Amino acid sequence: MAGVSVQAFRRQGRRFGAGLVCSEMVSCAGIEHRNERTLGYLRVASDEHPLAIQIFGSEPATMAEAARMVEAAGADVVDVNFGCPVRKVTKTGAGATLLEDPERAARIVAAIAGAVEIPISVKMRRGLENGSRACLEVGPRLVEAGARTLTLHPRSARQMYTGEADHSLTAELVERVDVPVVASGDVTSRARARAVLATTGAAAVMVGRAAQGNPWALREILDGDDPEPTREEVVAELVLFVRETVRELGERRASGFLKKFYGWYLGRGRFPRPFKQELVQLETTAEVERRLLAAAPRAADLLERLESELPAGDEILLDMPISIYGGG
């Protein structure tokens, strides 16, 4: 969920019933070098808890230091990424590559376990190659090293997001470890979530792409409540998302970052396709907001109510420890 799970996305997920939300993956090297943008990922809002912050890297000592800073930032869980399939991550020896190096993977988890008091979770894929069963070898070793829960997305790194998630592998992992296993991959509806839970014995399901621009999917999965949101609801949620993202990232970064979200929110037959194209071409988020509210004027009242329910003032962002910024 890199480039997606910003604070606005996580806070929205909590409002719609997610039991735990997770940050996008954070580079431990960026934390080590006090990169300003990377440190921004460690900001925690008071209404995000429980929250996991996910880190990635390949060196045990560096990952342990990053985990300490994640704990200091206020996260409830430190999540370790052994699943990212993207080349720029795997070529550094991080992400899914570590599934092919069980010894190093276990050393990383052990180093983190010795550095923090909060629980450690690990997100895995099945392995690098199609048909790999590496996760079944690595998973128990990670638990021995200190992982308190495992999440499995049973696609290979080579598959990326094509094909189907093979949850028979999730069921095998559940049998091999004595910690909760979270099932990830293709969980798009209540029926699918219930089927995955029933056939795997997993303790929970993780929802990712299904919630992009569609937080109502979380409500349907939890409660079976599946009314299609009205245009007013879609616009109110999108405008709130825009405002929260600008607050977090600033106008310059947010204006480009948000463009992919317009299609996610306005698709599914909710608005005509040309409307999304019109929004993408607007230069500022203020213009986007005005155009959205013009298309659904009654959304303004709903938006006002949503904003009134957010934590106020200093409660929105918890202060970061000064040590995280190296003093100053």
Task: Report pLDDT for 328.
Answer: 25
CA 181 and chain centroid, separation: 17
Q: What is the DSSP string of 112-154?
A: HHTT-SS-EEEEEEEESSTT--HHHHHHHHHHHHT-SEEEEEE
**Has residue 120 got a pLDDT over 90?**
yes
**Has residue 115 got a pLDDT over 50?**
yes
* pLDDT mean over 193-200: 97
Yes or no: say if 149 and 180 are a contact pair by the CB < 8 Å rule. yes
Kind of pairing between the strands at 181-184 and 149-156 = parallel
Measured CA to CA, the distance from residue 143 to residue 106 in angstroms comes to 9
Q: Can you read off the two tokens belonging to residue 281? A: 């071409």
Task: Report pLDDT for 6.
Answer: 92
Active site residues: 84
Task: Report pLDDT for 189.
Answer: 93
Q: How many Cα atoms sit within 13 Å of 132 on the Cβ side? A: 22
The reported pTM is 0.89
pLDDT tens figures, 43-66: 888 899 999 999 999 999 999 999
Our CA angle for 4, 121, 160, nearest 5°, is: 45
